[in-house]
Amino acid sequence: MKLFPTTFPAPIIPTADSAPALRWGIIAPGGIAATFAEAVHTHTAQKFVAVASRSLERAQEFANTWGIANAYGSYDELLANPDVDVVYIAAQQHVHRDLALQAIAAGKHILVEKPFAMNGTEAREIVAAARAAGVFAMEAMWTRYLPQTSVITQLIADGALGEIQLVTADHGQNMPEGHRVRSLESGGGALLDLGIYPIAFASQILGAPTAIHNVGSLIETGVDAQSLLTLSYAGAAQAQLNTTLLARTPITASVAGTDALLQIGGPFFTPSRLTLSKPGFSGESIHWADESGISGHMGLSYQATALAGFVAEGRTESPVHSLDETIAILDTIDSARWQLGYRFQPEQ
């Protein structure tokens, strides 16, 4: 048994000025795009130079809010702008593939809001196109770039938890009637919008599962309402994950190893706090809290700085959340959806 640590490792994250400022364009200036723009504007050196919407008025309003020089009433106009280095695709997931392929064809690097695509098949199309074009492509799985993720990664690499046996995570929100997450046409459902966070967390710790078992239900629109997932891995390790669009849940996570238990406070996918406890029912604990001053969804800023650094290094994908892993996570979601009878039309 490894000696129980008395302190947490310091997070290793790039500073805002450690990466060159790329010139960003935003496609689909909705709610998440506004949050991303605020986070990037406040906490990074990155620069927005263009925004595009299907409505020029909406694009211009967004541009005025964030001091963006170019507003377009079509996506093609933004993609034709030679001053745009990277495109943040913030549209709903049912159009992610088409927009990503258009941006890649225009020679742009892409950051695609999660989920990267509707399913593993679409993700493979995007990845193949990006690799063929030699452009950078990344899913906006922003949790991977938070300080706490660096701490967790170091703890596991140092063997502080021993042999990992169980990962748990949940994400539930009460989504009102009419919300896009309830829409079949928009590719909604709890798994793709909410459950992707617990599934990605388990993937970060344990990799791709060898078996997937899901128990859950659908709502009247045909999308998945809630799921209780058990994922199995080589050896004895398992993940127990749940998601729902019907109610708020604690949104916490944990990693249980033979030598220690690591708990991540809720919401676990945002800047949070960690508790590491010795094995045993009343084992002593040490605590860590994110003291960066960047809280909540302002943590979206970290992924923008990370992407700029990766591009400067000549990379075409993230070394901490690879395109192959992005595909594997969507494959897991596909299996979980199909077990509930939720399939998109091309999957029939």
Distance set, CA 121 to CA 91, 128, 129, 188, 333 (Å):
19, 11, 13, 17, 12
Do 23-142 and 143-295+316-347 show the same overall fold?
A: no
Length of the chain equals 348
For residue 244, what pLDDT is reported? 98
Q: Closest Cα partner for 297 from 197, 168, 190, 176?
A: 197
Interatomic CA distance for residues 271 and 251, integer angstroms: 13
What is d(CA 65, CA 85) in angstroms, rounded to the nearest whole number? 21
CATH fold label, 143-295+316-347: Dihydrodipicolinate Reductase; domain 2 (3.30.360)
- pLDDT at 347 (0 to 100): 81
* Domain residue limits, the chain: 23-142, 143-295+316-347
DSSP for residue 8: P
Amino acid 250: pLDDT: 97
Q: What is the pLDDT of residue 245?
A: 98
Quickly tell me which residue has 């669009």 as its tokens: 245
Q: What topology does CATH give the domain 23-142? A: Rossmann fold (3.40.50)
- CB neighbours of residue 166 within 10 Å: 16
Per-residue pLDDT of the chain (348 residues), as tens digits, is 678 999 999 999 999 999 999 999 999 999 999 999 999 999 999 999 999 999 999 999 999 999 999 999 999 999 999 999 999 999 999 999 999 999 999 999 999 999 999 999 999 999 999 999 999 999 999 999 999 999 999 999 999 999 999 999 999 999 999 999 999 999 999 999 999 999 999 999 999 999 999 999 999 999 999 999 999 999 889 999 999 999 999 999 999 999 999 999 999 999 999 999 999 887 799 999 999 999 999 999 999 999 999 999 999 999 999 999 999 999 999 999 999 999 998 886
Q: What are phi and psi of 186, to 5 degrees?
A: -90, 5
User: 257 exposed, middle or buried (CB, 10 Å; 0-12, 13-18, 19+)?
Assistant: buried
Contacts of 131 (CB under 8 A, 6+ apart): 316, 323
